[in-house]
Structure 1
Amino acid sequence: MERLTDAAPATDPALLRRVLGTFASGITVVAALGDDGRPAGLACQSFASLSLDPPLVLLCVGKGSSSWPAVRAAGRFGVSILAEEQRAVCEALGRRGGDKFAGVAWEESAHGAVRVTGALATVDCALDTVHEAGDHYLVTARILELTAREGGSPLLYFRSDYATGAFG
C-alpha cells in the first residue's frame, strides 16, 4: 500500500476540522457490558458499513478514550444509531469519566451487547480487528444482529455542531 504521509504538506488542524466538518455524519453509541456487569460506552461519529459478505462494519475510536478498553475487552458490543431526540444521550456518552449511563435507558441484547433504548437502529457486533491509525484505532467488527425502528430522523454532526435530518 502506498502511503502519502511523507509527501503531504503540513495541514492546519483548524482547517482540517473545518473542511471535514462539512461532511455530515450520524452519531452512534458504541457500548458493551464491562467486567463489573455495568455498561461502558462512548459516542462515535466515525461509523460505516464495510462489507456485505461477510457482514462487517467499521468504526474509529480515539486512542484517548477511557471507555474503549472496556468495550474492546468485552469483545461484543452494540452500536446504537441515535435519533434526533437523543442529543442528551450523545452528550452523556461523549463526556469523560463518571457514570456515562446515568439517566440513559439501555438494554442488553441476546448477544451481550448494550443497546440504547429509542435508537433508530442497533447493530450487535463481535470485534474483528483493531489497527492503529494516527491518533485513532480503526476497528472492524462482524455483524451479529440488526434491528431498526419505523420512522424517525437521525441525530447528525455537522460543522462542529448537532444537526437533524428530516428523513422520517
Structure 2
Amino acid sequence: MRYVREFKGFAGIRLESDDIGTADDPSIILLHGFGQTRKIWEDVAVGLEQAGRHVINVDLRGHGGSDWPSDARYDFDAYVEDLRAVLGQMRTRPVVVAAMHSGWIATAALAEDAATLASGLILVDPQSESGAQSVRACAEELSASVGQGLAKPDYDERLLDIFDVDGSGARLLDSAPHINIPVLVVRGALGSGHRAENSTGYADAFPNAEAINVDGGGLLVNAERTEAFNGLLIDFLERKQPRFIPEYRSGSDARTLRDAMGCFATGITIITAHDADGKPIGLTANSFTSVSLDPPLLLVCIANNAGSAETLRSAQSFAVNVLQIGQQPVSNLFAGKGEDRFAGTRWEVGEYGAPILPSSLGIFECTRNALHEAGDHFLLVGKVEKASFEPRRDPLLYFRGKYRRLHFT
C-alpha cells in the first residue's frame, strides 16, 4: 500500500512524503541529504516494505514536493523543528534513517528526548562539519552525477546559501551522548571527501552505537550499493527493533510479563504511614487506582517483600502522595533502600495522622478499609477522608521502566 502523506512542519510548512506499507508494522522515517529528494530512497523503501516495515519517505523543506517557503527559512533550526514536528505526528516511535547532512538534523532533533520520539537512529554517509560549503559541494557533486543512475536534483537553490551549520559541531557532540536509543553509522568506504573521515570515530560519540563501512559505497551508499545497504539495514532493525511481538504464557519468563505490564503508563505515588514507634515510613508505588466514589475508596498494591510492607499491613491510616514532575529525585529516594527517606524531604503530619509530602501533585489521606492477599503482593484498600491537589502542576509518569512527562500538542 502506498499513498502521498502530508505532515505539518515548523511554522505550518507542508512536508510531503510517501507512506508505504502497513501502518501496524514497525515504522521507518527516511530523510534524504541536501540536493536530493525522497526519490533517492525508492529502492530502499521497497526493500523495507518487503521486509515488513512501514516506511515514511519524506521530502525536506525546499526539496521535491514539500513546500519551498517564500521567506526562505532554510536555517538549521527550521529543519530540526520540522523533524520534531513529523515525529510528533507519528502514532509510534519510528527508526529515523538520515542521509548525509540530515544526520546533523536528526542528531540535534533527538538530543533532548530521543527515547520519547524515536526507537532508533541510522546515519548514512554522515558529513563532516564544514557548514554551507559542504552543502554546496555535495549538491554540485550530485548534479554532476545525473545520468549515472541518480535522480535529477529538484530543490530550491537558495538553501545552499542559507543553510549554515558553522559552529554547530560542538552542539552535535554535546547532543550525541544523550541519544540512548540504538544507533548505526553506515559509510561508503570509497565515498566523497566531504564525509566524516571515520565512521567509527563518529559513532563513538553515541552511548549505544555501531559503525559499518561499505566497500565501494561510491557517492551515495544507499543508492549505489542498495542491496548491500538494505541487508545491513534490515539486519540492524531485526536485532534492535524486531518485528515479532514478545509473548508471555503461564510458566514462561516473568520478565516478559513485567515488560508487558509496563506498557500501561501510570503516574507515580509515594505511600506514607507511621510505624508502631511513630516513625514515618514510605515507599514508591505505581500500582494505585480509584475503587469507588460512594463510598470514596482507593487501593494500592504493595509487594510482600517491601521494607515497609509490615507497617502498611497494620497501619490504620496512610496517605497516597501523587508525584509531580519535579519530584523524580524523591521518587528515586523512596524506591531505594538503606536511607533515611524523610531526613532530606519536606514532610508534615496530615489531618488524619499520616505523613504527607506537601509539594505533591495530589494527596489522599486515608483510613484503612480492607486488606486482601494477592500472590506476592497485598491490596491495601483505603477510605479517602481528605483529598487535595495542585492544578497548576503536571504529573510524573512511568512507562516501560522509565520516567516520562506529558507531551502537549
Asked if Structure 1 and Structure 2 have the same fold, meaning a TM-score greater than 0.5 normalized by the shorter chain, the answer is yes
The answer for the alignment partner of 2:282 in structure 1 is 41
The answer for the alignment partner of 1:106 in structure 2 is 347
Q: Distance in 1 between matches of 2:263 and 2:387?
A: 29
Question: Alignment partner for residue 27 of structure 1, among 268, 286, 291?
Answer: 268
The answer for the alignment partner of 1:163 in structure 2 is 404
Stretches of structure 1 lacking an aligned partner (at least 5 in a row) = 1-7
Report the secondary structure of 2:345's partner residue: coil
The answer for the alignment partner of 1:151 in structure 2 is 392
Partners of 1:92 and 1:101 within 8 A in 2: no
Structure with more helix by fraction: 2
Q: Distance in 1 between matches of 2:252 and 2:363?
A: 36
Q: Distance in 2 between matches of 1:9 and 1:88?
A: 36
Partners of 1:66 and 1:97 within 8 A in 2: no
Q: Alpha carbons of 1:130 and 1:97: their partners in 2 closer, same or farther (altered >3 Å)?
A: farther
- Stretch deviating more after TM superposition (70-79 or 120-129): 70-79
Partners of 1:153 and 1:166 within 8 A in 2: no
The answer for the alignment partner of 2:359 in structure 1 is 118
Partners of 1:72 and 1:127 within 8 A in 2: no
Alignment: residue pair count: 160
Q: Distance in 1 between matches of 2:257 and 2:373?
A: 20
The answer for the alignment partner of 1:130 in structure 2 is 371
Question: Alignment partner for residue 296 of structure 2, among 27, 34, 55?
Answer: 55
Tell me the CA shift for residue 162 of structure 1.
0.9
Tell me the CA shift for residue 166 of structure 1.
4.4
Q: Distance in 2 between matches of 1:13 and 1:74?
A: 31
Q: Distance in 2 between matches of 1:32 and 1:132?
A: 20
Report the secondary structure of 2:339's partner residue: coil
Q: Distance in 1 between matches of 2:383 and 2:407?
A: 30
Tell me the CA shift for residue 86 of structure 1.
0.2
Partners of 2:313 and 2:371 within 8 A in 1: no
Partners of 2:313 and 2:380 within 8 A in 1: no
Report the secondary structure of 1:89's partner residue: helix
Q: Distance in 2 between matches of 1:74 and 1:54?
A: 20
| Structure having the higher Rg | 2
- Stretch deviating more after TM superposition (18-27 or 8-17): 8-17
Q: Which structure would you say has the larger RCO, counting Cα contacts within 8 Å and 6 or more residues apart?
A: 1
Q: 1:118-137: CA deviations, max 9, x gaps?
A: 10010001111111111100
Tell me the CA shift for residue 139 of structure 1.
1.5
Report the secondary structure of 1:32's partner residue: strand
Q: 1:76-110: CA deviations, max 9, x gaps?
A: 01100000110111111111233122211111111
Stretches of structure 2 lacking an aligned partner (at least 5 in a row) = 1-248
The answer for the alignment partner of 1:4 in structure 2 is none
Report the secondary structure of 1:111's partner residue: coil
Report the secondary structure of 2:310's partner residue: helix
Q: Distance in 2 between matches of 1:106 and 1:32?
A: 12
Partners of 1:30 and 1:80 within 8 A in 2: yes
Q: Distance in 2 between matches of 1:58 and 1:35?
A: 22
Q: 1:109-163: CA deviations, max 9, x gaps?
A: 1110111121001000111111111110011111110001121111111111111
